[in-house]
Structure 1
Amino acid sequence: MIKNLSTKLFVSLSIAGCVSTYGQCTPVSEFSENFDTLSCCAFGVVPPCWNSYVTQDGGNQIISSTAPASSPSNVYQIGYNKVSIVIMPPLTNINAGTHHFKFKARVNPGSTPGFLEFGYITDIGNISTFVVLQPITIANGTYDNTSERIFDVPATVPANARLAIRNPGTTWVGHYWDDAVWESKSGLGTKESELNDLKMYPNPFTDVITISDTSEIQNVKITDISGRVIKTIDKPTSTINLSELKSGVYFMTTYHKDGKSKTHKIIKE
């Protein structure tokens, strides 16, 4: 977990809110945060070198002890059609293409689907500078096998931007999330050319898709365009039946025995 510590302060903004922040922090190349050093339930509490934007009309976020993915704490972004943003620490490699962001998310059990947005913000003092990279639909009420989401960040993102999760206030649902990680994709290195030779066909496909070589593949994950894990297949064969998927765009990530991975966009007709 990130250990950059500095004095906490609150800054009033002209756009009806305030941002909980810390002093100057050294950018990092990776982080893994489970929020377990923080405790419930003050508004706007985030780890050192993170930020939390709180709107005066009630948009907020707390650290909650309610059913986290990894005990004892997780983030809770309050619903009630209120906007809030949790901003991640500064990164040295936000647009390098070598890393991705992943986290686990859920909504209050029994709620209608919730909606968060993964993106970035270029000015933590100005909520209007948030840019959406990927909308996230969340239907699961517990941290289950669909709760993990994985997102790539395009090279077009400004180098000084900060990754962020926004509750856009489009629903009354409360959103929980945990185990936030910025990590290497593990798809680069001496065997990258071998990974690039890996093929998925036919693409588009109808029900069955074929992987050209599965000898070094440990498992495969299928995610939808919102980053939700749809299916995990351990020790896959060369032909994978995906007839249960609806028509649309998906991503198939192969995880290899040497720790590397490769993601392909696939289209179900």
Structure 2
Amino acid sequence: MKNFTFSLIFILSAVLGFSQACPDPTSVICDDLDAYTVGDVIGQAGADHWVAWPGSSLSGQVIDTNSFSGSQSLYIGAGPVLDMLFLTGDQTSGLTTLAWKMYVPANATAYFNVQANPSAGDSYVYQLYFNEGGANPGLATFQQLPPEFDYPQDEWFDVSLSVNMNSLTHSLSVNGNDILVGTDYVANAGSQPATHFSSINFYAVDAANQYYIDDIVMHYDPLTSLDELDQDKFSIYPNPTTDVLNIATEKNIESIVMNDLLGHVVIAENNINNMPTQLDISALSQGIYMISLQIDGETFTQKVIKR
């Protein structure tokens, strides 16, 4: 079976130095913080994806007093100010999805941003504040983008983001709510354009900053194009479409999976024998989706627009 993702995942794993076990074998990084010793995360075995912001030597702290799973998590706080980068591999193509658990104590502040250039600080896609300035506990706001939304206090919640460097779009979900979907991936701060998906910056933004990170999982899909197939023997149409998507090929389709831009599976079909195949997507919301086909042991992915 040919696997288009293996070589790049292997390279990413080696570059990022990840060695912890993960329940999801398809992940590039899976970090539950439990393999480290309590204290500075920087410099520990298997933690090469954690580095300090350039010019800072302070490390986020592995603690054993609050966690979502296991017994440990990563604490980002002030006094001294902690400023960390979670490296995502300087992606310039493909789809990267990143998810983690987050805990913000009541009345505390929290913050993270998305770095879009290998040189940290040169390009920010967005900066997200939780309880900015301590004025609105439970309210999250962007510095550069219009949405604002509620988040839980004193409990763990989900954060999930995706960056598609092929289509230059990105999405964000917090506590199960879609905040950004298919938003243009552009620099909204900094001096350089958004040319990469380089890192997440977890930063103690002010003296009231306290938050915890746990169970970080990163996936990467190179989004191998269907154009690599013989187009005389393959077609997917109409695209864009409003209700039905037709897939015709002389090859054997083993499975079809369609995901939204947050990585949620919206359609999954296996053991497909009839050709052409017709998918009813009328129930899906308007937007951009990624369809992945397993064909004769090879996986191909293409963007589909639902109108």
In the superposition, the TM-score normalised over structure 1's length comes to 0.52
The aligned length equals 217
Q: Which secondary structure state, in structure 2, belongs to the residue aligned with residue 265 of structure 1?
A: strand
Residue matched to 1:233: 268
Distance 1:192 1:174, change over 3 A: same
Contact between 1:220 and 1:232, CA under 8 Å: does it hold in 2? yes
Question: In the alignment, is residue 153 of structure 1 matched against residue 175 of structure 2?
Answer: no
Query: Following the alignment from structure 1 to structure 2, what is the Cα–Cα distance between the partners of residues 202 and 231?
Result: 19
1:102 paired residue among 74, 97, 103: 97
Aligned counterparts, 1:8-47, within 5 A: 32-35=28-31, 38-39=35-36, 42=39, 45=42, 47=47
What does the per-residue CA deviation read over 1:36-57, in whole Å, with 9 as the maximum and x for residues that have no partner? 6743764664822542449x9x
Contact between 2:68 and 2:101, CA under 8 Å: does it hold in 1? no
Contact between 1:148 and 1:228, CA under 8 Å: does it hold in 2? no
Query: Following the alignment from structure 2 to structure 1, what is the Cα–Cα distance between the partners of residues 234 and 280?
Result: 18
Aligned counterparts, 1:201-220, within 5 A: 201-213=237-249, 215-220=252-257
Greater relative contact order structure (CA < 8 Å, 6+ sep): 2
Contact between 2:73 and 2:212, CA under 8 Å: does it hold in 1? no
Contact between 2:258 and 2:289, CA under 8 Å: does it hold in 1? no
Query: Following the alignment from structure 1 to structure 2, what is the Cα–Cα distance between the partners of residues 198 and 247?
Result: 25
Distance 1:62 1:83, change over 3 A: closer
Residue matched to 1:48: 48
* Structure number, greater radius of gyration: 2
Distance 1:77 1:193, change over 3 A: farther
Distance 1:49 1:208, change over 3 A: closer
How much has 1:164 moved relative to structure 2? 0.9
Contact between 1:208 and 1:243, CA under 8 Å: does it hold in 2? yes
What does the per-residue CA deviation read over 1:151-207, in whole Å, with 9 as the maximum and x for residues that have no partner? 43359865xx671124698xx99665523245x627279x92337974332233223
Amino acid at match of 2:239: N
Distance 1:251 1:87, change over 3 A: same
Residue matched to 2:124: 131
Query: Following the alignment from structure 1 to structure 2, what is the Cα–Cα distance between the partners of residues 148 and 204?
Result: 26
Amino acid at match of 2:97: K
Contact between 2:112 and 2:200, CA under 8 Å: does it hold in 1? yes
Q: Which secondary structure state, in structure 1, belongs to the residue aligned with residue 230 of structure 2?
A: helix
Question: What runs of 5+ residues in structure 2 fail to find an aligned partner?
Answer: 1-12, 18-26, 105-109, 129-148, 169-192
Query: Following the alignment from structure 1 to structure 2, what is the Cα–Cα distance between the partners of residues 104 and 230?
Result: 15
Larger CA deviation: 242-251 vs 193-202: 193-202
Residue matched to 1:223: 260
Distance 1:61 1:251, change over 3 A: farther
Percent identity, aligned pairs only, is 10
Q: Which secondary structure state, in structure 2, belongs to the residue aligned with residue 228 of structure 1?
A: coil
Residue matched to 1:252: 291
Aligned counterparts, 1:70-85, within 5 A: none
Contact between 2:254 and 2:271, CA under 8 Å: does it hold in 1? yes
Q: Which secondary structure state, in structure 1, belongs to the residue aligned with residue 298 of structure 2?
A: coil
